[in-house]
Amino acid sequence: MQDQHDAFAYLFGKLVYFLYNLGKILTTLEKGVLSVCGLNLLRNFPHSTR
């Protein structure tokens, strides 16, 4: 029973670590996309107000 519990804890730790890294990657991508979109909006803004 103890071995089973350890295996579960190990897999759970792996899953948490994976989700944590995935979250970091997604946050970085989101920031990149937002900054690019923001720059494009700022660049296009003067043209759209005319």
Tell me what pLDDT residue 21 has. Answer: 97
Give first-to-last CA distance, the chain, whole Å: 72
Tell me what pLDDT residue 43 has. Answer: 84
CA separation, residue 13 to residues 2, 5, 6, 7, 19 (Å):
16, 12, 10, 10, 10
Cα–Cα distance between 34 and 50 in angstroms, integer? 25
Tell me what pLDDT residue 14 has. Answer: 98
Cα–Cα distance between 28 and 17 in angstroms, integer? 17
Cα–Cα distance between 27 and 19 in angstroms, integer? 12
As averages over each run of 10 residues, the pLDDT of the chain (50 residues) reads 88 97 96 92 71
pTM, two decimals, is 0.58
Tell me what pLDDT residue 34 has. Answer: 92
Tell me what pLDDT residue 12 has. Answer: 96
